[in-house]
């Protein structure tokens, strides 16, 4: 059984992600972190899912059983866990969340002492330990060596101050009316507090979590209610977070969603003008629209592409000395202030841009037009290695001759092939997508 996916351990709570699995993976992680321990403390936070109680207690049991002291801080955004782990000098941080998934699922994300997500090779080492029963048995503490746990409720203040420090001192949000959708998730307290303390008039929706309504027809995945409320309240901006607030979707004053690539382009330009953009470029994934890359070229900035996943984006950012990047889905990394995608930090950067330039969101956040793009998922019986499929080379060469960017890859978690086509001519692109779909259905499903 494989534990780790693209973003930690995730699955249906009570079936895949049981209390037993959570306790054992916590013990395995604790054994790994103890090899480089400096403080013997691990931080644990969660979002608002009902299953979080079960998983949190199991994780605390597993960590204290091998001698770790645990700090529990309750519901807090994922980026807050990354920040507070480093700020409180912990050996590691653990976030219990399945991000934008519905309440039935839950997950476990790990951060190292610097607040960074674990590289794949470390996850593999933890997974190896998980299956070594003898090692886990030998590592259990006895007597005075057993760890202790304590709950701290006031660390929210540290994160609020940290977020406010990302907002320019000379600016105020007193002129801004904002609608904030917290997705009944982890930012239901911290989100409104930060915006109000910076002076904004805040209309908050979906901020009454009951353990089951996280992401339910709300938040970054379902923004229709936010769009309506922005128009209804004549707001300057709409902000939709997901369940653990590492992702944001922005809505302009007309109730229209701002595309993630256009948003990153606008912020990159603003950072560049203010000489705050390091590395003369930004990092996005292979999914980002070619129009973003072409726009950045006009600013003499470079676009670096990574594999899908904010962890992969951050890896390239570090390699190239870049402090800004993200995914078009809304995971934006402001690396001067966050080690992972941070929806609130990104929203504050957007608001600072609008206030400083005195522009409407509908104009400022769409600095270029997108090229037509189409994504199709095909259910497959088996994941044959793409390089072994006859005819695929000729097919992709034909796409390139027609000036179309393409991305063909298997899903990391499902038996699906994902096809992405992008080109300046919508009609031609649609025709070639039909050809691609027919081709792969025949070779993969007979």
Listed in sequence order, the residues at least 6 apart from 393 whose beta carbon sits closer than 8 Å to its beta carbon are none
**Is residue 72 within a helix (H) or strand (E), and if so which, with residue range?**
strand 69-75
Phi, psi of 9 (to 5 degrees): -100, 125
Q: How far apart are CA 71 and CA 41, in angstroms?
A: 7
CA dist 314 and 131 (Å) reads 29
Q: At what angle do helices 78-87 and 156-165 cross, to 10 degrees?
A: 100
Residue 129: C-alpha distances to residues 5, 35, 241, 309, 377 (Å): 17, 13, 35, 25, 35
Please compute, for residue 143, the number of CA atoms within 13 A of its CA located in the half-sphere on the CB side: 1
Exactly one of 15, 37, 51, 99 is catalytic; name it: 99
| Measured distance CA(423)–CA(408) in Å, rounded | 15
Active site residue 15: no
Give the C-alpha separation, 406 to 403, whole Å.
10
Q: Within 10 Å of residue 254's Cβ, how many Cβ atoms?
A: 11
Answer for the pair 297, 268: CB distance below 8 angstroms, yes or no: no
E strand or H helix at 27: helix 19-34
Which residues are annotated as catalytic? 99
């Amino acid at each position: 059984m494989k534990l780790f996916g693209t973003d930690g351990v995730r699955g249906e709570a009570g079936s895949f992600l049981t209390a037993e699995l959570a306790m054992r993976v916590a013990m395995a992680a604790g054994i790994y972190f103890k090899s480089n321990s400096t403080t013997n403390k691990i931080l644990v936070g969660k979002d608002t899912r009902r299953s979080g109680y079960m998983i949190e207690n199991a994780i605390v049991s597993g960590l204290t059983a091998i001698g770790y002291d645990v700090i529990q801080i309750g519901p807090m955004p994922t980026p807050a866990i990354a920040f507070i782990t480093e700020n409180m000098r912990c050996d590691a941080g653990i976030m219990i969340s399945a991000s934008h998934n519905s309440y039935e699922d839950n997950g476990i994300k790990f951060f190292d002492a610097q607040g960074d997500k674990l590289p794949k090779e470390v996850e593999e080492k933890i997974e190896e330990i998980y299956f070594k029963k003898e090692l886990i048995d030998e590592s259990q503490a006895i007597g005075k060596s057993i760890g202790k746990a304590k709950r701290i409720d006031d660390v929210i203040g540290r994160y609020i101050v940290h977020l406010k420090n990302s907002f320019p001192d000379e600016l105020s949000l007193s002129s801004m009316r904002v609608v904030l959708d917290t997705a009944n998730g982890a930012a239901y307290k911290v989100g409104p507090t930060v915006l109000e303390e910076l002076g904004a008039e805040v209309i908050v929706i979906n901020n009454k979590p009951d353990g089951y309504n996280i992401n339910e027809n709300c938040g970054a995945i379902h923004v229709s209610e936010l769009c309506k409320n922005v128009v209804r309240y004549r707001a300057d901006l709409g902000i939709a977070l997901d369940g653990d607030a590492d992702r944001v979707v922005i809505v302009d004053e007309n109730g229209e969603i701002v595309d993630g690539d256009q948003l990153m382009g606008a912020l990159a330009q603003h950072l560049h003008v203010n000489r705050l953009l390091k590395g003369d470029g930004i990092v996005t994934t292979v999914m980002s629209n070619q129009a973003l890359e072409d726009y950045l070229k006009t600013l003499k900035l470079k676009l670096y592409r990574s594999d899908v996943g904010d962890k992969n984006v951050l890896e390239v950012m570090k390699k190239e000395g870049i402090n800004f990047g993200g995914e078009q889905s809304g995971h934006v990394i402001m690396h001067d202030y966050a080690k992972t995608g941070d929806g609130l930090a990104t929203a504050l950067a957007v608001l600072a841009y609008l206030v400083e330039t005195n522009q409407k969101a509908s104009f400022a956040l769409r600095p270029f037009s997108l090229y037509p793009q189409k994504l199709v998922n095909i259910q497959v019986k088996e994941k044959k290695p793409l390089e072994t499929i006859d005819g695929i080379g000729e097919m992709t060469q034909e796409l390139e001759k027609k000036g179309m960017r393409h991305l063909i890859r298997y899903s990391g978690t499902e038996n699906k092939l994902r096809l992405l086509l992008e080109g300046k001519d919508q009609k031609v692109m649609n025709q070639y997508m039909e050809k691609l779909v027919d081709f792969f259905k025949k070779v993969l499903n007979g």
